[in-house]
Structure 1
Amino acid sequence: MSTSPASVTRLRSLESLDFTNSYARLGPAFHTPVEPTPLSEPHLISFNTALAGQIGLDPAEAARPEFLAWLNGEYRLPAGEPVAMLYAGHQFGHFVPQLGDGRAIILGEVLDADGRRWELQSKGAGPTPYSRNGDGRAVLRSSIREYLCSEAMHALGVPTTRALCLAGSGEEVYRERIETGALLLRAAPSHVRFGSFEVFYYRGQFTQLQRLADYVIAHHYPELQQADNPCLALYREVVERTARLLAQWQLVGFAHGVMNTDNMSILGLTLDYGPFGFMDTFEPGFVCNHSDHAGRYAFERQPDIGLWNLSCLGQALLPLLDEDPGAAAELATARFEDYHEIFNQCYEAGLRAKLGLRETKAGDRALAEDFLALLAADARDYTLSFRRLAGFDSGENADNSGLRDQFINREAFDVWARRYRDRLRREGSDDAERRAAMNRVNPKYVLRNHLAQQAIEQAEAGSYGELERLHAILQRPFDEQPEHEAYAAEPPDWARSITVSCSS
């Protein structure tokens, strides 16, 4: 990792980090103090040096035995106050009054040199009071998937939690089969979720509800403190961030898999990577979660589910918006109804960028959606089809047979291509400039399931080279990387047999 002289001076040892835990200050109604349960035979698998530098941690610290001991709960920093968060949530549409961190523990919070907060959460750290008879462990398979995907999403420009490091162990954990336990160290400004508010609303604990809202505003939305109605302003911000996040998921072809309200971030981050998937062939009804039998969280339903989840959050915030329930409902509804406009603006702007269109003109969304219809009809690869479209030649008699021949219905593509050519000419588009612009927003590399599976299988056999290679490739999703061309190929036939479920 290259660093400037200024950044080198900010890098610190583990013990000298500016460590605190502001969430622990909220009091026992919001969390339970709990010590991590160490895994047997722990070993560090991968360390994210780039993120360490952002946090202010010297990457050399990863080589110290104390770092692994701290991660594994065998060594406690003087300022450490590990806690498991309490929250509730709507799971697959049904309210569950108490959930909470069943296998994750907040180890503390670091302030970097710029005053940004990084809450560090160990996932797989052992049982907590919220484990619901579970073992509190994470397995290597799912931990690798989250480690790779959270950083891949960050590189794609999608708001997300991050992953600082990944550790394995010799401890056996039983899921559908016996697997090895692992630890993932997540980093985010906050892991507060919609369900964090729901638990106090449904318990009628409005004092705690207000305190949580005040905490979130003070620490993460301080500009809202001067608003006439700070809690209403908070809801408006969360509606906007969630709408933008969902648009970004749709634009990169990402399906979350478990969009329960306890998995929705109050900061508009992609949170809790369980069963997820980037689409290979474009399929609007794509369901990445094998456990989602009804298809509630299918790809095409994600925007509406985002809105449904926001309605649950709005319900939970009602006591804070106005003393009169009717007035509170009207205020929340007005903000709630902004969602579709914000989503559509972000999504349509993203579609124009994916097509290389600089200007906004009538019919742009229809043009993009008709291209998507072509992909769906012929089962074309979502990521690669947009990437290849950058090579479109808008000349009058141009030969676009390379693009055309990817489609079964070539005549339908020809009709669409003429519309696309005319649209490009209407804004005086230059092919070279458009190609460069499209390649900056249409990734060549995404975390396809078969790539993750190959890294997992090698890691389970004790080899981590493929994990590190894939992690590095995904940090540069828009670059050509000719030496890694195979990682941008369409998936092999055997990839269709890969399934992920809620245990993933």
Structure 2
Amino acid sequence: MNKVNWKFDNTYSKLSKSFRELIKPTPVHKPEIIIFNHQLAKDLNLDFSRLNNEELSNIFSGNDLPKETITLAQAYAGHQFGHFTMLGDGRAVLLGEHLDNKKNRYDIQFKGSGRTSFSREGDGRAALAPMLREYLISEAIHALKIPTTRSLAVVKTGEKVVRENLLDGAILTRVASSHIRVGTFQYIAATQNIENLNTLVDYTIQRHYPQLTSSKFKAYDLLNLVIERQCSLVVDWMRVGFIHGVMNTDNMSISGETIDYGPCAFMDHYDPKTVFSSIDKFGRYAFSNQPPITKWNLARFAECIVPLIDKSEDYAIKLATDLIDNFQNIYEDKWLKMMKNKLGLFGEDYKDKKLIIDLLYWMEKNKADYTNTFCNLMDINSNEIYKNNDFINWKKEWKKRSKLNNSTKEKQGKLMKINNPTVIPRNHKVEEALAEADKGNLDKMKKLLAILKKPYDNQNNIEEYQAPAPLSNEKYQTFCGT
């Protein structure tokens, strides 16, 4: 196993028992490697070239663990659709933390690896299609240059899992800068153990925010930086029309990475109320609700660390509240800058916000495709809808604004190109690829992955991957896959 070049340094396992349960993955009957991320392995300085498929299957099913691992399930809690629950890794096992040759630290985690003490009524297993969805979408989000967990491998277990039907079981190997969540802090805070809470703050700072190591106000400064990072993340989601689908506090990573790809999807025609998740009955996690829900989740994080912000509870609450209340200002500034980048606008103009809102209103009213509208402005996508008089008039105003602040067409085009994807994971193409993969044919998935690796390039012959789904009376829905 050493020939792979694993370099595990398992700091999380050294935390107190309150944080985790030491447990091994449950062996599986007949593992079979389905997809493997060679580029990610290379990025991690891992070399699997001397292993055959059987050896790979045994490693990534948990049947043959690297010697340096200290496997564990992490404890965390979460507000799930607003309701607080004590949770934990009910079907995931952390192998440990791998260090690359630059000493960057990565969690290596199995998802679908069997029951733990946190499983409650679950079987601890996962089905093939949802694991392939996470692989596909997380790699697409990475290519879109948005912080995310990544996927190293998917293995079929050779066993069935019982959901509505009998499905092929699978295990995903997830790579993350860590799995510390808002829910991790909620779990420790709920135990009312201040020593453990201090430990978690220190551990998080050491791992993700080392610039705060010598701070005299660690908890306050940590909250401030987490707000900033989460704000940047959700602005990036809004930039590409991504809808996470289940923004529970246990699905918000303190590192600022996108995590837990359950009922996620991408918006086709622009509608701020877009919801795809089958379990989101009231639109709590709709596209336009993602910023306020991020703020809500951050407020729950702030509540956890209030005892560490200041000895005076009232003063600590005031300090935390002021930071949380400022979220809206930070978000609006970042969002406005992002939208101006999408439109290739430089400098400031008092009409900028109105220009943006007018475009979004036109898109919503005319059911225009979000991604393709910006492509049209870059002269990439042509469609009858863009011959609409209101849109033509809007473009005149946009072109006038574009000439301000020493801008040139070349500079504008360059700015737009790095902010507007020409292709996204279209929901119907994702479903097509997953349906074929479920039957054992990965050709469509591999082709889709190859196209999604270059989302900002003007690729040839990919029109079918750029078109929104054909009109249908059936509402597209995504499912958690648990």
On the 8 A contact 1:107/1:120 being kept in 2, the answer is yes
In 1, distance between residues paired with 2:455 and 2:163?
A: 32
In 1, distance between residues paired with 2:214 and 2:90?
A: 36
Counterpart of 2:193 (choices 199, 205, 214) is: 205
Counterpart of 1:13 (choices 3, 25, 34) is: 3
Judging changes above 3 Å, is the alpha-carbon distance between structure 1 residues 122 and 256 closer, same or farther for their aligned structure 2 residues?
same
TM-superposed CA distance for 1:433, in Å, is 4.0
Counterpart of 2:209 (choices 221, 228, 233) is: 221
In 1, distance between residues paired with 2:223 and 2:72?
A: 26
TM-superposed CA distance for 1:272, in Å, is 0.6
1:241-252 → structure 2 map (5 Å cutoff): 241-252=229-240
1:236-277 per-position Cα deviation (integer Å, ceiling 9, x unaligned): 110100111111111110111111101100111111110111
Determine if the alignment matches structure 1 residue 23 to structure 2 residue 9: no
Aligned to 1:167: 155
In 1, distance between residues paired with 2:84 and 2:356?
A: 37
Aligned to 1:331: 319
Q: Output the amino acid matched with 2:180.
A: V
Q: Output the amino acid matched with 1:489.
A: A
Q: Output the amino acid matched with 1:215.
A: Y
1:332-481 → structure 2 map (5 Å cutoff): 332-391=320-379, 405-407=384-386, 410-481=388-459
Aligned to 1:73: 62
Judging changes above 3 Å, is the alpha-carbon distance between structure 1 residues 33 and 214 closer, same or farther for their aligned structure 2 residues?
same
In 1, distance between residues paired with 2:474 and 2:149?
A: 28
1:166-217 per-position Cα deviation (integer Å, ceiling 9, x unaligned): 1123311122222111111110110110010111212212211111111111
Q: SS of the residue aligned with 1:119?
A: strand
1:45-84 → structure 2 map (5 Å cutoff): 45-60=34-49, 63=52, 65-84=54-73
Q: SS of the residue aligned with 1:406?
A: helix
On the 8 A contact 1:391/1:435 being kept in 2, the answer is no
In 2, distance between residues paired with 1:281 and 1:143?
A: 27
In 2, distance between residues paired with 1:428 and 1:320?
A: 49
Judging changes above 3 Å, is the alpha-carbon distance between structure 1 residues 102 and 61 closer, same or farther for their aligned structure 2 residues?
farther
Aligned to 1:489: 467
For structure 2, the 5+ residue unaligned runs are none
TM-superposed CA distance for 1:407, in Å, is 4.7
Q: Output the amino acid matched with 1:87.
A: Y
Q: Output the amino acid matched with 2:448.
A: L
On the 8 A contact 1:81/1:107 being kept in 2, the answer is yes
- Greater shift, 477-486 or 234-243, is seen at 477-486
Aligned to 1:193: 181
Task: Normalising by structure 1, report the TM-score.
Answer: 0.92
For structure 1, the 5+ residue unaligned runs are 1-11, 393-399
RMSD of aligned residue pairs (Cα, Å):
1.9
In 2, distance between residues paired with 1:21 and 1:419?
A: 57
Q: Output the amino acid matched with 1:109.
A: E
Counterpart of 1:499 (choices 468, 477, 480) is: 477
1:288-312 per-position Cα deviation (integer Å, ceiling 9, x unaligned): 2111111111111110000000000
On the 8 A contact 1:243/1:343 being kept in 2, the answer is yes
In 1, distance between residues paired with 2:301 and 2:475?
A: 37
1:81-230 → structure 2 map (5 Å cutoff): 81-96=70-85, 98-230=86-218
Judging changes above 3 Å, is the alpha-carbon distance between structure 1 residues 496 and 348 closer, same or farther for their aligned structure 2 residues?
farther
Q: Output the amino acid matched with 1:132.
A: R
TM-superposed CA distance for 1:70, in Å, is 2.1
In 1, distance between residues paired with 2:405 and 2:395?
A: 16
TM-superposed CA distance for 1:353, in Å, is 0.9
Aligned to 1:279: 267
Q: Output the amino acid matched with 1:168.
A: K
Task: Normalising by structure 2, report the TM-score.
Answer: 0.96
In 2, distance between residues paired with 1:237 and 1:43?
A: 42
Judging changes above 3 Å, is the alpha-carbon distance between structure 1 residues 485 and 60 closer, same or farther for their aligned structure 2 residues?
farther
On the 8 A contact 1:137/1:182 being kept in 2, the answer is yes
In 2, distance between residues paired with 1:112 and 1:432?
A: 39
In 2, distance between residues paired with 1:448 and 1:28?
A: 43
Q: Output the amino acid matched with 1:13.
A: K
TM-superposed CA distance for 1:477, in Å, is 0.4
